[in-house]
Structure 1
Amino acid sequence: MKIKFCGIRRPEDVAYMNEFRPDYVGFVFAGTKRRVTPEKAAALARLLDAGIRKVGVFVDEPPENIARAVKLAGLNVVQLHGSETAQGIERLRTLLPEAEIWKAVRVENSGSIPHALGLGADLLLLDSFSVTEQGGTGKTADLNLIRKANLSSPFFLAGGLNSGNIGPIVREFSPYGVDISSGIETGGVKDRRKIEQIMRILRKESGKAVG
């Protein structure tokens, strides 16, 4: 199972990532509370272990702007969190043929996941729905709707995951990966102790040792 920690914005965060080595880290280029500029992401990326893949989180950003950020920060994955279309995703593939494209799904109703499956992204990331925010709310995704979708393709699971609930959730859903942001924070900043707790739980679930 893949592990992604999102909302990296300080050198201290990068140090934690290099210590615990998740598979992916996410830089947020939208919203306010975790937002970084492409230039800031590039500076942080230079401090990051080369074996950790870098994800950029975007919300309804023009494809040309996304391409600029990807190239500047050396991102491997584009994660789309807005109302992006199949045409927009195809345009991104033209601009960024080497990058993976993930589509985040704010699971609101039974049609949310089937609609996203038709957009042509490489992978879906299933997140909680909020009227006011596009992601990173700390609210648990609607697990009943995800159960009913009965997805056969690999997906990431996000939305309110923390050390208190992640074990049973990953055992039930067997996601390809998990994406955690608020669940490894205290007072709005990344917390080393919480990162260590999450890593121990997930490595145990996948039969690996932490270290």
Structure 2
Amino acid sequence: MVSIKICGITNVEDAQLAVEAGADALGFVFYPPSPRYVTPERVRSIIHILPPFVTAVGLFVDEPAEAINAVAESCGLDRVQLHGRESPDLCTAVSRRVIKAFRIKNAESLANLPSYQVSAYLLDAYVEGALPGGTGASFAWELAAQAKPYGPVILAGGLTPANVEEAIRQVRPYGVDVSTGVERAPGLKDPHKVRSFIARAQAAAMAWRGIRPHG
């Protein structure tokens, strides 16, 4: 199956919505310039109510490893997602398993992936001057397919309920990650979009695996 992550969670209600709809992972943004920024204290309270098999992922941008590790320990994060210009050495210094994000502009953008020994590569769209994560822009999905030999690929950037099935069909990624594509406002999720995105992603994954839905 394809792992589904709903990123940019800022409150308990949206966390519960995503979990009940079938999300495998939730993302929390620890980057103050982002409109989806949440404090460690709030994230701790949200993670406290999550069921045991839902993965909590913290998104950081160019923070030192010591600061990342402190927040991860304090909040109870399961994974860390790095969206800046973090070096391979910094990734290995992080105490949690790392998902390294790369902003994809063209095929040359994939050149650095082999230098990073991380648990997964998250591929997002390159948008000049945009804040890392949550740009709402997409990129050429065939580039994501080219990255798969390097390790597990998580597809992000411009995904919506309308295109996630085709994205999964084309790329067959390890996972998909959505933020703006299921929002009604920055940091606030739209229940219908969340449910639709997850249902369509699950349906596409089942079709890829040749599994017929029950009923």
Give yes or no for TM over 0.5.
Answer: yes
> What TM-score do the two structures reach when normalised by structure 1?
0.90
| Cα RMSD for the two superposed structures | 1.7
Where relative contact order (Cα < 8 A, 6+ residues apart) is larger, the structure is 2
> What TM-score do the two structures reach when normalised by structure 2?
0.89
Deviates more, 1:104-113 or 1:63-72: 104-113
- State the distance in 1 between where 2:147 and 2:38 align: 35
Q: In the alignment, is the contact (CA less than 8 A) between 2:153 and 2:175 conserved in 1?
A: yes
What is the correspondence of 1:5-154 to structure 2 with a 5 Å cutoff? Answer: 5-30=6-31, 31-92=33-94, 96=95, 99-132=96-129, 133-147=131-145, 149=146, 151-152=148-149, 153-154=151-152
Which runs of 5 or more residues in structure 1 are unaligned? none
- State the distance in 2 between where 1:55 and 1:193 align: 23
| C-alpha deviation, 1:55, in angstroms | 0.3
- State the distance in 2 between where 1:202 and 1:108 align: 25
Give the corresponding residue for 1:204.
203
Q: In the alignment, is the contact (CA less than 8 A) between 1:117 and 1:124 conserved in 2?
A: no
Match of 1:172, SS state, is helix
Q: In the alignment, is the contact (CA less than 8 A) between 2:182 and 2:193 conserved in 1?
A: yes
Give the corresponding residue for 2:3.
2
Q: Report the identity percentage.
A: 33
| C-alpha deviation, 1:131, in angstroms | 1.9
Match of 1:135, SS state, is coil
- State the distance in 1 between where 2:40 and 2:106 align: 33
Which runs of 5 or more residues in structure 2 are unaligned? none
| C-alpha deviation, 1:110, in angstroms | 2.2
Match of 1:3, SS state, is strand
**Count, aligned residues:** 204
